[in-house]
């Protein structure tokens, strides 16, 4: 049975994810529907809560959805970067080394982590880079909901939500979306996924969830979200920030990239706003708090500083109970 607290979390899950990750509504709807189906017992018996492949270009929110899902459900996020497990010998680090090999006594990173936190979101980033032996191990996990290590210890994955991300097919799909080799990006991506992963692997997934490239309008919303988060961080330092529309347009010019998603935008904010701000907070004009105005001057951003009014400063200071 599903507890009342779980019902509340599931009821708000779709809305919560959509409020935090922009431009991926179909992906979020598919993910949440599959999780609800599994939670009420209409999924496959003795399997993980769900096994999903998140497919799409870099920087569009695949990893962020996994993070927000774990946070909202109150489950631990266990993350492994598959680029570290491209070699056959590296797979033993995850599930434990066979008898007679170095590290046999230690147990595997994956099995130990899931044993300690069975209610978890297991994130395997860039799964296409993993050694084939690891994919074979995952077949067992997705099929039986368990994994037995070389010690004979069985780890239960039936309370884990498994999310694997892949960029396979993303480049071809992106070309299609901007008019080169036109076609449905999801179909183009699907073809690449079928070429890369075995039918046995794909058949054990609950769903392949397709993420779309970010367009200009969505990226503007992402920019507003980044600036809102920065504003909240600065309030803790007794600092108010105002970013003009001209400055936002400059950030979009420098940071928007349909191929690389939101990451270049975050880098531009780090370089041109956060870096100079950190200097002034530590050593300069807003060491004791203040106001910051971000404006565009020609082809550059200019940050100007002034002291806070006394009544504004009082509002920002944490209230004692």
Same domain? For 34 and 126 the reply is: yes
The CATH number of the domain where 298 resides is what? 1.10.8.60
Counted domains in the chain: 2
Instruction: Give the tens place of pLDDT for each residue, 75-120.
Output: 999 999 999 999 988 888 888 876 656 555 567 899 999 999 999 9
Domain boundary among 179, 210, 241: 210
Same domain? For 89 and 223 the reply is: no
Q: For the chain, list residues with pLDDT below 70.
A: 1-3, 43-44, 98-106, 170-186, 188, 310-321
Same domain? For 236 and 285 the reply is: yes
> Between the CA atoms of 30, 32, 35 and 41, what dihedral angle is there, to the nearest 10 degrees?
-90
Neighbouring C-alpha atoms within 13 Å toward the C-beta of 61: 24
Domain boundary among 210, 231, 253: 210
pLDDT of residue 79: 97
Same domain? For 67 and 134 the reply is: yes
Q: Would you say residue 44 lies in a domain? A: yes
Q: Is the dihedral of CA 248, 254, 255, 259 positive or negative?
A: positive
Q: Would you say residue 308 lies in a domain? A: yes
Q: How many CB atoms lie within 10 A of CB 12?
A: 12
Q: Would you say residue 321 lies in a domain? A: no
Same domain? For 138 and 238 the reply is: no
Alpha helices in the chain (DSSP H): 4-20, 25-39, 62-73, 88-95, 109-116, 132-144, 170-177, 185-196, 199-203, 216-235, 245-255, 263-269, 275-283, 310-316
CA distances from 265 to 175, 216, 319, 321 (A): 21, 12, 34, 39
Same domain? For 172 and 243 the reply is: no
Same domain? For 126 and 153 the reply is: yes
| Cα gap 15→251, rounded to integer Å | 28
The CATH number of the domain where 12 resides is what? 3.40.50.300
pLDDT of residue 80: 96
Same domain? For 277 and 197 the reply is: no
CA distances from 113 to 117, 125, 156 (A): 6, 16, 11
Range of the domain at 89: 4-210
Which residues lie below 8 Å from residue 58, measured CB to CB, with a gap of 6+? 167, 170, 260, 261, 263
| Cα gap 71→48, rounded to integer Å | 18
Domain boundary among 186, 210, 234: 210
Same domain? For 192 and 69 the reply is: yes
Instruction: Give the tens place of pLDDT for each residue, 138-180.
Output: 999 999 999 988 778 899 999 899 999 998 876 665 555 444 4
């Amino acid at each position: 049975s599903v507890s009342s607290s779980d019902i509340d979390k599931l009821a708000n899950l779709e809305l919560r994810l959509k409020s935090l990750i922009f431009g991926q509504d179909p992906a979020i709807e598919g993910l949440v529907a599959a999780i609800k189906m599994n939670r009420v017992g209409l999924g496959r018996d003795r399997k993980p809560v769900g096994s999903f492949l998140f497919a799409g270009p870099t920087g569009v929110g695949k990893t962020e959805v996994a993070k927000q899902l774990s946070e909202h459900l109150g489950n631990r996020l266990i993350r492994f970067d598959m680029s570290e497990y491209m070699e056959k010998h590296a797979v033993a680090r995850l599930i434990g080394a066979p008898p007679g090999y170095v590290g046999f006594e230690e147990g595997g990173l994956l099995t130990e982590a899931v044993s300690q936190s069975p209610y978890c979101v297991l994130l395997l980033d860039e799964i296409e880079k993993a050694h084939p032996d690891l994919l074979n191990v995952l077949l067992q996990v997705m099929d039986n909901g368990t994994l037995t290590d070389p010690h004979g210890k069985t780890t239960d994955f039936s309370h884990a939500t498994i999310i694997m991300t892949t960029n396979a097919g993303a480049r071809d799909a992106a070309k299609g979306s901007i008019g080169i080799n036109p076609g449905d990006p999801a179909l183009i991506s699907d073809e690449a996924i079928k070429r890369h992963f075995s039918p046995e692997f794909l058949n054990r997934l609950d769903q392949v969830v397709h993420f779309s490239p970010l367009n200009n309008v969505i990226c503007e919303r992402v920019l507003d979200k980044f600036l809102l988060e920065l504003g909240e961080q600065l309030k803790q330092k007794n600092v108010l920030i105002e970013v003009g529309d001209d400055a936002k347009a400059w950030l979009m010019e420098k940071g928007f990239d349909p191929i690389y998603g939101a990451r270049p935008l975050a880098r531009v904010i780090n370089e041109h706003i956060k870096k100079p701000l950190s200097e002034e907070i530590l050593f300069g004009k807003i060491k004791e708090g203040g106001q910051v105005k971000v404006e565009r001057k020609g082809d550059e951003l200019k940050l100007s500083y002034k002291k806070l009014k006394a009544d504004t400063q009082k509002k920002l200071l944490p209230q004692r109970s």
